Amino acid sequence: MSLIQYLARIQFGVGARATLAAEAEEAGIQRPLVISDPGLAGSGLLDTALASFDGRALPRFVDVPGNPPERVVHAALRVYRDRGCDGIVAVGGGSVLDTAKAVALLAEQGGRLEDYMARTGGSSRIRRIAPVVGVPTTAGTGSEIGRGAAITLDDGEKAVFLSPHLVPAAAVCDPELTIGLPPGLTAATGIDAFTHAFEAFLSSAYNPPADAIALDAIERLHRWLPRAVADGTDLQARTEVMMGATEAAMTTWKGLGATHALSMPFDDLGLHHGTLVGVLLPHTIDYLRDAAPADRLDRVARALSSTPDSLADDLARFTRSLRLPAGLAAMGVPEDFLDRAAEIAAGTAFNQTVPRPLSAAEYRALAGAAFA
């Protein structure tokens, strides 16, 4: 039996930010806490996103860093409770959106974040969250419509949380809010979305609607992401990439794969998640040739005008066109960390939805291939 579920209400398109206040009201939010990051707050982009509130003074928590730690969740939760908030408007990238979901979960259910980890069966304990409206300013994680979140716990573990109840009440996706995104971040977030669709299509879960969406996302991002990286003011490219990222998020209900499993321990080094998956993805193809059904690998290769035999080289060429680093060493990963990373990867929730689970030894080999 398969769970096939699509829940999010999405306002999509140039100027969609004008609907934000109405979407918050539709979600039942009367006293929102705005969660964002320092860069967006300082650049004025946050005010642009919130313009539909007509100057209303809203409490804000704008201290979310990349790879958000548990302490930031608790700091935002204190503001939420102190200001009597009843929902969240999250404006930013995946880190902001994931933080908002974690705050909304603890605000509604209480307890400890570690109680809700997917790895230890915590998904079944997630029953409700405070309403969240997500406004992405990157086109990558798709957390604004996704069922997942990732937070680094106080003990150092990058914890993954998965539940249909974590899907925000609404998403407001306005490509104009991504215009100022630098080329490197455009590439890193976009390749993360591409990898979502790529790995979800090859996941062992049965979900034909997600498969169809994944193939469109793969083709769309392959065509338009290089153009958005080359010219960040190209609104058509920005729109197509945001749609690709939105589609890719719809596919992640199937689960992800080896690239995301192996990226998790490296995230803890403070490295950008999207860049990591882009560097790792081409090196997973040898494993996929053995593990994935041949017809599925053929279909995903054809979506990229490639073949299963040339797919690794073609993916490497694609990531080079986005100016991603050549390997893990170029990102500053110490070689003596690879053994520990492989052990962690084998135990992640993502290793449960791959075509065939990998051992720690296999992850070590994959990490070694991506190191140079």
Q: What is the DSSP string of 271-322?
A: --HHHHHHHHGGGGHHHHHHHS-HHHHHHHHHHTT--TTTHHHHHHHHHHHT
pLDDT of res. 251: 94
pLDDT of res. 349: 85
Q: Cα separations (Å) of 229 from 158, 179, 195, 237?
A: 29, 11, 17, 9
pTM, whole model, 2 decimals? Answer: 0.93
The conformational region for residue 54 under phi > 0 = left, psi -120 to 50 = alpha, else beta, is left
Residue 8 burial (CB count, 10 A): 18
Which residues of the chain does CATH 1.20.1090.10 include?
A: 182-371
pLDDT of res. 55: 85
Three-class secondary structure of residue 231 per DSSP: coil
Q: Chain centroid to CA 348: how far?
A: 16
Low-confidence ranges of the chain (pLDDT < 70): 1-7
The conformational region for residue 84 under phi > 0 = left, psi -120 to 50 = alpha, else beta, is left
Phi, psi torsion values for 220, nearest 5 degrees: -65, -45
36, 96 in Cβ contact below 8 A? yes
Q: Which fold has domain 182-371?
A: Dehydroquinate synthase-like, alpha domain (1.20.1090)
Three-class secondary structure of residue 162 per DSSP: strand
End-to-end alpha-carbon separation of the chain, Å?
42
Which residues of the chain does CATH 3.40.50.1970 include?
A: 9-177
pLDDT of res. 133: 98
Q: Which fold has domain 9-177?
A: Rossmann fold (3.40.50)
Q: Cα separations (Å) of 196 from 82, 86, 142, 213?
A: 37, 32, 9, 11
